[in-house]
Structure 1
């Protein structure tokens, strides 16, 4: 009698810390060339549950162009100086800092403008999804911000002397400073 092997689903392997070897590419963090008219500098620090900076994380952004159009061009890794693909990837440095040179996204279908953000980091079994909204006008909200409640501020960029700052906190053992992360249909819940 032969037996049929049983295959039990297993969790994915951790996603790091190989980013600096396999994923960066020329111009990855520059969606537009520095100095381009209308360019903004999006930056921040990725921190772990104890507040320590992560030097081996990878942050990706997807975004609409300034007119609210979602780029639908092939070759999202293309950096030819004039094609805006709306995609960028930045690894963190020794201080946990990441940077992008890009354009401020416009409103898509009348919603609030935001960067879609994905975080890969050591010890994560899956990437994390969040949003980085442009600084908000008083009273501005949408369904995601409303659902985030009092933690909605973790989803909003802060204007500073360098540009737009969006810090990412993977966990917070002491309070509610963890960035709000999103789940999508078909993607495992965090």
Structure 2
């Protein structure tokens, strides 16, 4: 769906400016990431967030509204330590930030520690999604099913009927989540946040 249907309706207003001299001075719009997004953005083993402690695996599969994998997606995660603090100091064996490129099935797997809750929010992973043809990254979250997520102020912003779209599925001692982009049925598309 992302690479096809180019004659369909555009989500964003299409400019009629055809020459750079016609454009007003100011901030330029975002550019798409292009087919070579992974060059220079991912380092070897950057999907390994933690190398010490009780690590878990968290897999994200990115699909479009047709159910096709987005094989060139890049996923970033940012999280707290298990004690609920962010990694502002260098801690050996834990970075707090991970980045990985999807394989041909649209899947990225991270090795990390289970994040802790903060004073304000339930334990979660902050998730950024990049892919070819997107003007800006998409922001979403992953919450864990065994935690009390009911009072999380960000999760409360999502319609109650769609909150389960942000809850991870336990699998083989780890977790899995499918991120659905551009689905015709808004109730099936992953909730994304404006940051």
Q: TM-score, normalised by structure 1?
A: 0.82
Q: Tell me, in whole angstroms, the C-alpha distance in 1 between the residues paired with 2:148 and 2:80.
A: 23
Unpaired segments ≥5 residues, structure 1 = 75-80, 185-190
Mapped contact 2:102–2:108 kept (Cα < 8 A):
yes
Please identify runs of 4+ aligned residues in structure 1 that moved more than 6 A: none
Mapped contact 1:154–1:179 kept (Cα < 8 A):
yes
Q: Tell me, in whole angstroms, the C-alpha distance in 1 between the residues paired with 2:94 and 2:79.
A: 10
Q: What's the offset of the Cα at 1:11?
A: 2.4
Q: TM-score, normalised by structure 2?
A: 0.80
Partner of residue 187, structure 1: none
The CA deviation string for residues 14-45 of structure 1, in whole angstroms up to 9 with x for no partner, is: 12332232211022000123xx4410000021
Q: Tell me, in whole angstroms, the C-alpha distance in 1 between the residues paired with 2:185 and 2:58.
A: 27
Q: What's the offset of the Cα at 1:167?
A: 1.3
Mapped contact 1:136–1:156 kept (Cα < 8 A):
no
Q: Tell me, in whole angstroms, the C-alpha distance in 2 between the residues paired with 1:51 and 1:43.
A: 17
Partner of residue 111, structure 1: 121
The CA deviation string for residues 55-91 of structure 1, in whole angstroms up to 9 with x for no partner, is: 10100000000011111036xxxxxx93412000010
Alignment size in residue pairs:
172
Unpaired segments ≥5 residues, structure 2 = 1-22
Tell me the secondary structure at the aligned position of residue 158 of structure 2: helix
